[in-house]
């Protein structure tokens, strides 16, 4: 078998351990694959090379042609049944991760401080949805029962247990709108509530 000596490590190796070069008279790189990879990795780690590569990728990704190709690929990829199911499972697992829940709460807290007007609008929208979905025919006993459920959940949270009050049938679901009534309330852990999302039971 044909052999070649690497100019970097000075070892004689078979030509299959060298990259091919069609524009070179020797037909192969002067350095073997291992030395070439080590050289490229060391060069890529240089700060100026990182900045250059970052600027190139930023310019490439901002081009209309790249965005159009990326959108077309994503459109096809997201509609493959296996990928859709895998994405749902991944999201469900992510929602039940306590660290993710804590990060999202922290992110929400920071967002509320930086955008107080939007946070107020979201809160008011939630309150309005509750009022609209609270029937006028509820009696005092049923209203008291709802109050007890929320107080019990608050007591659990006060001792460090991460529980939330959830509407079994979501008040703002995509296909259905549940009522704000005692028999539509349940107490779930934050992870269970996040995994359930705005979907039916």
Could you tell me the pLDDT band of residue 200, with boundaries at 50, 70 and 90?
Answer: low
Indicate whether 10 belongs to any domain.
yes
87 & 185 share domain = yes
41 and 108 part of one domain: no
Whether residue 54 lies inside any domain: the answer is no
pLDDT at 86: 87
- Domain match, 87 and 41 both: no
Number of domains in the chain: 2
Under the banding of pLDDT at 50, 70 and 90, the label for residue 12 is very high
- Residue 117 domain boundaries: 81-196
Res. 38 pLDDT band, cuts 50 70 90: very high
Written as six digits, the tokens of 82 are: 């296996």
Residue 133 to residue 155: CA distance in whole angstroms: 25
Q: Are residues 107 and 179 in the same domain?
A: yes
Same domain, 85 and 40: no
Residue 50 covered by a domain: no
9: pLDDT strictly greater than 70: yes
pLDDT in tens, 131-144: 788 888 999 999 89
Work out the pLDDT band at 199, boundaries 50, 70, 90. Answer: low
Is 58 inside any structural domain?
Answer: no
Quick: pLDDT tens for 141-175: 998 999 999 999 889 988 988 888 888 888 876 67
Give the separation between CA 171 and CA 51, rounded to whole angstroms.
49
Please check whether residues 38 and 95 belong to one and the same domain.
no
Residues 25 and 94 in one domain: no
Element counts in the chain: helices (H) and strands (E): 8, 6
C-alpha span between 183 and 18 (Å, rounded): 72
Statement to judge: residues 28 and 122 lie in one domain: no
Q: Is there a single domain that holds both residue 10 and residue 99?
A: no
Clarify whether residues 109 and 162 are in a common domain.
yes
- Residue 52 resides in a domain: no
Same domain flag for 87 and 19 = no
**Within this chain, do residues 189 and 129 fall inside the same structural domain, yes or no?**
yes
Average pLDDT, the chain: 85
State how far the alpha carbon of 54 is from the alpha carbons of 42, 47, 50, 57, in Å. Answer: 17, 10, 6, 5
Q: Is residue 61 part of a domain?
A: no
């Amino acid at each position: 078998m044909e052999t070649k000596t690497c100019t970097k490590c000075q070892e004689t190796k078979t030509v299959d351990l060298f990259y091919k070069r069609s524009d070179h008279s020797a037909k192969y790189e002067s350095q073997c694959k291992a030395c070439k990879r080590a050289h490229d990795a060391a060069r890529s780690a240089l700060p100026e090379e990182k900045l250059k590569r970052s600027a190139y990728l930023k310019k490439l990704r901002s081009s209309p042609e790249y965005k159009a190709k990326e959108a077309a690929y994503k459109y096809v990829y997201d509609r493959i049944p296996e990928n859709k199911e895998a994405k749902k499972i991944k999201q469900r697992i992510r929602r039940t991760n306590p660290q993710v829940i804590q990060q999202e709460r922290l992110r929400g807290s920071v967002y509320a401080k930086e955008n107080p007007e939007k946070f107020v609008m979201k809160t008011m929208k939630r309150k309005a949805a509750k009022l609209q979905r609270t029937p006028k025919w509820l009696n005092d006993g049923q209203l008291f029962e709802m109050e007890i459920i929320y107080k019990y959940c608050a007591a659990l949270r006060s001792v460090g247990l991460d529980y939330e009050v959830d509407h079994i049938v979501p008040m703002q679901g995509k296909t259905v709108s549940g009522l704000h009534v005692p028999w539509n309330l349940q107490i779930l852990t934050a992870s269970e509530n996040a995994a359930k999302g705005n979907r039916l039971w």
